[in-house]
Amino acid sequence: MKPIQYRVPVPKDRTVFIQEDFLDKFYPHMHCHEEYQLIWIKEGNGQLLVDDHVHDFERGDIFLLGSNQAHVFKNDFRVGYVQSVSVFFNVKGSLSAILNMPELRMLLDFIDKNGRGFKVPKIHLAQISRRIEALKNSDSLGQLVSFFYLLKSLNRLSLKLKPLSGVTSVDFGTGGSFRITALCDFLENNYKENIGLNEIAERANLTPQAFCRYFKKSTGKTFVSYLNELRVREACRLLGGQDYDCISIVAYHSGFNSITNFNRVFRSILGISPKMYVANYKHLLYE
């Protein structure tokens, strides 16, 4: 399903827009918007569908949603209502000139690296929610200052954050190896093919044993784990699409050579079976 392009009603005199909502339910359609959205769930629980992944949420949780990242919140109606505070900001607008200042460049880098969003770890929720509350209660200039302090606090959590969708990104840094970057690009473009350890090791001019050590040290993942995450990401995209026919076809089109292996790997990565994933996905979209 193609997400609705939603237009956030940001006032022209605001660089950062804060919106507090008291609703019986969240906006019910899969949508996206150019602005990043940091949302604090003050009351309510349910599920969040982001691109091709489903996440549970409960009272107190905080999420960052990236620019034009498709998402929809579905709350549990037994709770009765939802309350949330959202901070919307657009790094391509007037904020761009400020964030490109040398002193703030690290914050822009942090935003760029988290374009697929994240969920704030529970241990840090109290700290980040206080920052959001301070931002909400400030005047216009105070909000801008509080916003930078909020980003600074989030930046300190960088190593503990996981993207809401897709494969966990690998940050090679400015001094990163051209070799590992080229290898990951090759896997990104050819994960549907039958790529063996010997083939990828030869491409890297290493023995299979040396390649395994090198790849794990460079990416933090084994070669097989990295390749499987790419394939499961594609499978999720296909399972959520309108052209989805059956799970076995999705498995083979994602690079898996057997439905048994596909089911095992899918469950090990996402914690649920492909069949349950489809049920959850359709439930969130259409009910």
Q: Any idea where the domains of the chain sit in the sequence?
A: 4-160, 178-286
- Give the per-residue pLDDT at 169: 47
Structure tokens at 252: 């083979």
User: Which amino acid type is present at position 19?
Assistant: Q
163 burial type by CB count under 10 A (0-12 exposed, 13-18 middle, 19+ buried): buried
- CA-to-CA separations, 193 to 115, 151, 238, in angstroms, rounded: 28, 40, 17
Q: What pLDDT, on the 0 to 100 scale, is given for residue 244?
A: 67
The proportion of the chain whose per-residue pLDDT surpasses 90, expressed as a percent, equals 52
Specify the residue for token string 């940001």: 10
Angle at which helix 140-155 crosses helix 105-113, to 10 degrees, equals: 60
**Does the pLDDT value for residue 1 go beyond 60?**
no
- Answering whether pTM is above 0.75, one says no
CATH number, domain 4-160: 2.60.120.280
Average pLDDT over residues 17-44: 92
Residue 271 scores a pLDDT above 70: yes
Asked if residue 18 has pLDDT above 80, the reply is: yes
pLDDT at 283 exceeding the cut of 80: no
CA distances from 121 to 44, 109, 168, 203, 281 (A): 18, 20, 16, 38, 24
pLDDT tens-digit map of 157-180: 987 888 888 654 454 444 446 788
Taking the C-alpha atoms of residue 2 and residue 9, their distance in angstroms, rounded to an integer, is: 22
Give me the CATH topology for the region 178-286: Arc Repressor Mutant, subunit A (1.10.10)
Residue 284 pLDDT class (50, 70, 90 cuts): low
